[in-house]
Structure 1
């Protein structure tokens, strides 16, 4: 049977991959950093626009043999692709001071970032396990180098090695899980796997099936930095250049969530994965919040808070075993919608830190940002807004609606105990988010080093991320609809 190919469905992937190639050629032929960055930025914008245009129509399927398709581009895929492209654009803007400082090669940086963006664009449309895992690795592999790309930084090299070793183990687990599932079911397409396991319940009693599901979920949980697969995240974020840490905390985490959501929704038995993910979510948010309370370094606090946020994202999936069909659909949408709200607020938070730190510097200690909002009122206000949003408080409506959406999905799915855990952890999270925000407005000590003047590109990225967070806060239902499509 001939395989169909729909080039329109592949347009966003073509644009993203073309951006990587063009950035490399421009750097090689022109050797002008500004032209290379402009090429990468233009390509990211084109990718986001292309994804929105293709996703605005009916769902498009390609690489199909019969009813089984390896690439399915619909509303959810368009949302993920456009968001990854916008995150890459934001990280490019945040990287301006870092690239001008001369410690990071511009061509390699733009090429690797565009390659990672390509993986994120393909990931949202993956229809089989092979495409899914290859897309996850395409998203992740360039980050090993980006984390350690800063010349002369032992901390950066150590962070890159930590990230590399952990990710290799995670990839091996995911591939092993996919291979075992293929051995059990004889299929790799996500929808086909789900149908096979539903039609042949005796397969669920096989020990091999349980091992396959466990290993695959564990491999993808590494990418999300869920407990107990989280230990790499704080060290890697703190050792990476600040813009790369921002990308790790947003686009990379979004990719892990999308991959895990895809296999749980379409391929894996929900009665088995639901209780496991409920326990993982509860542990992740609790450990992340409790350890974040003790952090004194800025990036480590944001890293541990992102671990806790991963728990909130996974929480709706914990009710799958008890929920009916409508509640399950709402749980999938709630998980992805929370991820969208989170990455926008997280990008704004990192943009605020980058704006207040010297070029090529790490995040430093929290005390070094004491009184920052008094000296840079607009930047400080935007950073405080992002922190309040991550805490789930108004006026940052995106964070508030994110928490409400998760709790509502858990109550609809009959997992009231997990909704209570979410509520208790949200209260714990208030302590360090509000402490950080209050520190920005505290009187500065005489011994505190002067703050850097925010670069225009960084200030612009901070403003755009904040505006986008405000917009989605006023349109939560639109995000939910796209996430559920």
Structure 2
């Protein structure tokens, strides 16, 4: 009888264990910490996430596995290059979210019932799930990691107790996610019935030549599993919950969902398609291409409708933009279906996700700065930002140009060219043409917002579009010219510097993201 005792490689697990353990420590500490010292929990969480990032350094040169079956043939956790890159994006995004959250109260007013510890517990728990997901190598662990990433996010979105928009946003997020989970569980059960295993490599072997009477069951299971992931990732036509959820959530939570949630979900989709369902590449490849076209088109057209003249929210525009960016992320995945070795295409997707994560978090950081004096966060509130906060306006303009793929945002241009090249190299010319059209559509709303930053500020007596000053933890109403908090300054500075460095050497991103899945 084989031994049931397994050795655990705790070094490989440290990027997951540290945020998980810290989430419990923060929750317990909040029970005893005086209210005036509550901000310390935020800085402790940020330090823990930074430490989790540093623990990846000893792992960067090896391929470590743990929770393996007897003989090491199939493992449930692998700290390979792909996992480490995505974990760096997840933990880095969570760190920047923590910096935004330190100076942004997620609750509606001082004295609200929700303890600060709850917020940090939920954020760290979700980050731990996001770090586990790219290292998962069986369908059960993959789904559990996805749920650990998603479930705390429901509460984070609804943390503003008594806020109708937050409650509606959380409900839409919850219903869509529950539907996705149910569909995925049904699909995974079908796959297990057809192959007899949950390990990704074993599933691929089982699907290569399934028994005749189980072929239909296996294909149905694979289709349902992919539909469930499409729901989770807000791929069109399953995107309906994103704009309202982002607009109703606290701004740091919206930033977190737009980058960390998307990166974790895409890593799971990559593992399921490229590794587990590789024998069905001729089916899911064209499907990914169609979903890419739908997603980028719906997202960009939706963002195009967010015009300053109709008092649209800047966060809602970023939400539609994130849908469009998800469509670009699907393009290399569609190209990977026809490649003998998909490492290059997967590296392109991961490189694009890294670029998008840096600049999108930077845009949200500047939005957090603006909402300190204009809580409504409308596009008109950004009019003439250069006159009052020139550095913030220049940073936001740089982030928007990166997202648009225009100089001086070279990293954005490089990432889009890499995605475009992957479609052309896979002979998906139709996909490349539609992507090019969507990039042109996206230029309109990105440049329109950029131009607004440098237009003439509104004069006295004109409607300013600003409401009462934002409430900051531990302080009274912030005056219009109040200094920028340290955490917010650090978030903007880190993303701006990272964007500039990567624009100076964009090849570093693609070289860093390249690597085999196995």
TM-score (normalised: structure 2): 0.89
> After the TM superposition, which residues 288-299 of structure 1 pair with which residues of structure 2 at under 5 Å, given as runs?
288-295=299-306, 296-299=312-315
User: Do structure 1's residue 349 and structure 2's residue 363 form an aligned pair?
Assistant: yes
CA distance in 2, matches of 1:287, 1:212: 27
| Distance change (3 Å), C-alpha of 1:341 and 1:475 | same
CA displacement 1:387-446 (0-9 Å, x = unmatched): 111111111122111101101111111111111111111011000000011111111223
Q: What is the match of residue 173 of structure 2?
A: 163
CA displacement 1:134-167 (0-9 Å, x = unmatched): 1111111111001010133111111111111111
| Distance change (3 Å), C-alpha of 1:273 and 1:63 | same
- Alignment partner of 2:286 out of 242, 250, 275: 275
8 Å Cα contact 2:45-2:120 kept in structure 1: yes
CA distance in 1, matches of 2:508, 2:192: 36
User: Do structure 1's residue 333 and structure 2's residue 337 form an aligned pair?
Assistant: no
CA distance in 1, matches of 2:11, 2:490: 32
| Larger-Rg structure | 2
- Equivalenced residue count is 480
TM-score (normalised: structure 1): 0.95
CA distance in 2, matches of 1:337, 1:224: 18
Q: What is the match of residue 75 of structure 2?
A: 69
- Alignment partner of 2:49 out of 37, 41, 44: 44
8 Å Cα contact 1:173-1:218 kept in structure 2: yes
8 Å Cα contact 2:386-2:392 kept in structure 1: yes
Q: What is the match of residue 465 of structure 1?
A: 495
Alpha-carbon RMSD across the aligned residues, in angstroms, is: 1.9
Q: What is the match of residue 476 of structure 2?
A: none
**Structure 1, unaligned stretches of length 5 or more?**
none
- How big is the shift at 1:119? 0.4
CA distance in 1, matches of 2:14, 2:56: 8
> After the TM superposition, which residues 79-478 of structure 1 pair with which residues of structure 2 at under 5 Å, given as runs?
79-99=85-105, 102=110, 103=112, 105-198=115-208, 200=209, 206-268=215-277, 269-295=280-306, 296-321=312-337, 323-326=338-341, 328-358=342-372, 364-445=377-458, 446-449=462-465, 453=482, 454-478=484-508
8 Å Cα contact 1:313-1:339 kept in structure 2: yes
CA displacement 1:278-303 (0-9 Å, x = unmatched): 00001100111111111122111110
CA distance in 1, matches of 2:412, 2:372: 29
| Distance change (3 Å), C-alpha of 1:185 and 1:36 | same
CA distance in 1, matches of 2:212, 2:441: 42
CA distance in 1, matches of 2:509, 2:125: 26
Out of 370-379 and 32-41, give the one that drifted further: 32-41
Q: What is the match of residue 21 of structure 2?
A: 18
CA displacement 1:156-194 (0-9 Å, x = unmatched): 111111111111111111111111111111111111112
CA distance in 2, matches of 1:253, 1:266: 19
**Structure 2, unaligned stretches of length 5 or more?**
307-311, 467-479
- How big is the shift at 1:270? 1.2
